[in-house]
A and B are shown apart, each in its own frame.
Chain A
Amino acid sequence: MEKHKHMSETKERYCAGRDQKGDVWIEWTPAPTREIHLQSSVKALFGPHLLEVIDRTLIELGLADARVVVQDQGALDFVIAARLEAAVGPVTGKKLALTARAAAAPQRKRLRRTRLYLPGNNPDLMINAGLYGADCLILDLEDSVAPAEKAAARILVRHALAHVDFGASERIVRVNPLSSPYGGEDLDAIVPMAPDALLIPKCESRTDILNVEELIASLEKRFGLVHPIPLIGLIESAKGVVNAAEIALACDRLAALCFGAEDFSADIGAERTTDGRESFVARCQVLLAAKAAGLQALDTVYANVQDEAGLTASAQEAVALGFDGKGVIHPSQIKPIHQVFCPTAEQIDKAQRIVAAMEEALATGSGVTALNGKMIDAPVLMRAERTLALAKEYGLL
């Protein structure tokens, strides 16, 4: 909600939303009777329906008499509800009742090769986000949302979690850090909606994670959530890199550590370059900390959307270093990255022979065996199993 004073009168007006495609702009002022002024690109097709939705939502939000101006550009019902709540709720003190989507229990371990960032205040990008095959979607309340829009974005993401089908992608919300004025409210609003995971930015110490964990645990208890929500720690400062090892071990919820190159370069006073020498050591340190704690390590985004060759090279480097995934800022980056993570025919063949040899050894009561003269032990087996799991994901088995 934004609060303005009219220049000409003393009456207050309240607004929320954006006058953009797939979104709606709402503005209201207290008035002696109820008036709804609706402008919409789809008024001829959905006029009565829109008026009914607006009316019903206003009643639920406890706003009886007001002059409400709605400028709509094809927003879906959940967006209209979210924008009304953002404009009205803070005045009436009411929220719309939302039910978390029935989803499978969140998993700490799952494929996270690609995570697509979606600005939390842009509903138009959310609607089809589940169609692009990203392993994870990040509904972002942090860097892609301006301070004035934080509250509206938080409400929108709540409604999106309740209403949008994100397909098979993991629904992750990046909240603001607890050290900011928004972090606590973000968790209050988002945890009850049972996202599949939370991405915690600007992790710099074990305490940062523990504070978040404590708040989440109490919210889960209050809202009766039975499955603990996994966390991904985003490390994007020199201090965070130095403390990566203790961060990785901070709590059982942690599923992965993620490296953020943009903020990191700024933090150490370096220019972000294409070959990324300024952050190479830091990336590796985050990776080692994650792996040492048994977590996944997720690499930063590749920022040049036009450069597919550069993206592929960067993904190849990430795979070679041992990263489990990369960040994505446009859906067109998903497929090239998945291709890089895809095991080759030779790798699959070798993995199958390793697993077969090991099964044979186990059947005969031995824990160790060899293939082509090379010893197969637990790590070799683990890598082989990981390759086969990936191959299955790619439909190659």
Chain B
Amino acid sequence: MTTAISIKDLHKTYSNGFIALNGISLEVAEGDFFALLGANGAGKSTTIGIIATLVKKTSGIVEVFGSNVDNNSYETKLDLGIVPQEVNFNHFEKVFDICVTQGGYYGLPRKLAEERSEKYLKQLGLWDKREQQGRQLSGGMKRRLLIARALIHEPRLLILDEPTAGVDIELRRSTWKFLQELNRAGTTIILTTHYLEEAESLCRNIAIIDKGEIVENTSMKALLKKLDTETFILDCRDDLQGLPTLDGFDLVQIDNHSLEVTLDKNQDINEVFKLLDQQDIKIKSMRNKTNRLEQLFVSLLQNSANRAATTQEGRS
């Protein structure tokens, strides 16, 4: 399978001495929907900046579809679409002009740039706003305009840096749907996000970056398998007459109608239902208490911090 992006031993130290990347290596296959997760300042945006040539690396190799970004920047840039975290279009330009101009920068003849602009502005629900200036758009529309602009030259690899930050749920869902369709049509997508639910629903593979190092790089399925416990909220049909006691299970009463139960890998939720039924407590519905990925993410970062602390102790 072709590799869409290959990063080898990438280092970045800023002029103030801050080490943003400490030798990360990563490969993303063509056609993948890949999540790059990390806390603020972990190195996600620096990595994207280096791929986009907006940030100069200290050392390491970055290849896009087998071409080194240092030697073949024309070729690699044609294959690459970048949706930045911050809105970075000219606020005084019209929406349509922003897209057509970007097409021109990628060598599209004006007519084709206009056709593509119409196509993507329509797909992203911005066609009605084409004559408005960028600054007149709402926050969510600005984010979708960034996506439309990045797609004008129809890149094989699209990198989105927190594309749904500050976007309401409805818009976020429609953006997800759009990205999934794009990925099904063959575009490789790399996504950084703060919404872990987003990564869990969309991405097949995942890398977690912490303090400039990759602490996990695996498939989403394999990562979620590592989860030791899972917590459920159970909504009861009738009022509870106190906290029921179930052998082998920890229950917490949230309110008159709700219970919280945490299961480890070897326990079965059906057993909980059976025991509650024996006490004449009927369950109406059930949901996960926390985002599963969030739980793992926190635990991975905690492990990473503990490892760092142990190494530090060993040195002193």
Are chains A and B native binding partners rather than an unrelated pairing? no
